[in-house]
Amino acid sequence: MSASLDRLVAVMDRLRSPGGCPWDAAQTHASLVPYLLEESHELAEAVDAGDRSGMREELGDVLLQVVFHARVAQEDPDEPFDLDDVADTLVAKLVGRHPHVFAEAPVDGDLHAQWDRLKRLEKPERTSALDGVPASLPALARAAKLAQRARRAGVDPEVVPAPVADDDGEDDALGRALLALVHEHPGLDAEGALRRATTRWEAAVRATEITEAGSSAGKGPDAEGSGVR
């Protein structure tokens, strides 16, 4: 571990230990989840903006969440683990899923398909190619991920129409239209595309508000016919 990471682990240990920070000491895996999600979104925002300084800071905040969770995990009385265990597990996963790099084995078909096959060997409890996609993902991101998984499994999402809900209405129609749109653009980051488009639209609305405010401010009372004559 580098000296910087050693210092980070030491700082986290100090914050979490007796005599440290009461707030840090009180946190649990569950209480930290909102912060992990928030920091991940802030990192995505910095990436979208091309903000290198922001990316460095937000990557640090995401790393803090990893170190924090690992420190909390050390205290578990039944199944403790630490940051080294987390890193070891990750290294084993990366090496195992890249036999074409670390075992000098030929690529067995498509790289993505090979990755999925190796994952299934690691997790035999999964019975569907769609297993393992978190239900808590944003809806567009989850739809795109499920569609990607289905395609790798040999199922074309576009030929499996979304069932109509029992209470079919505008809400259900919009949902099915969005799902179909995601299916029509395989491989694209639907969540990121919408996020970036929304950011541009938001900037345009704000610019319009400023322009209209400036135009209104430039009008004297007489311009509205309400001035004192």
Average pLDDT for residues 151-176, to the nearest whole number? 87
Average pLDDT for residues 11-32, to the nearest whole number? 97
Q: Which residues of 89-104 are buried (b: 16+ CB within 10 A; e: fewer)?
A: eeeeeeeebbeeeeee
CA distances for 61 relative to 1, 47, 85, 183, 198, angstroms: 19, 14, 21, 34, 25
- Bigger pLDDT: 2 or 141? 141
| Band of pLDDT at residue 1, cut at 50, 70 and 90 | low
Average pLDDT for residues 56-66, to the nearest whole number? 97
Average pLDDT for residues 105-132, to the nearest whole number? 80
CA distances for 34 relative to 31, 61, 75, angstroms: 7, 13, 21
Q: What is the pLDDT of residue 11?
A: 97
Backbone angles phi, psi at 104, to 5 degrees: 55, 35
- Bigger pLDDT: 1 or 37? 37
| Band of pLDDT at residue 221, cut at 50, 70 and 90 | low
Domains and CATH numbers, the chain: 3-96 (1.10.287.1080), 128-191 (no CATH)
Q: What is the pLDDT of residue 228?
A: 44
73-91 tens-digit pLDDT: 999 999 999 999 999 999 9
CA distances for 179 relative to 91, 92, 105, 112, angstroms: 35, 36, 38, 23
Q: What is the pLDDT of residue 229?
A: 39
| Band of pLDDT at residue 220, cut at 50, 70 and 90 | low
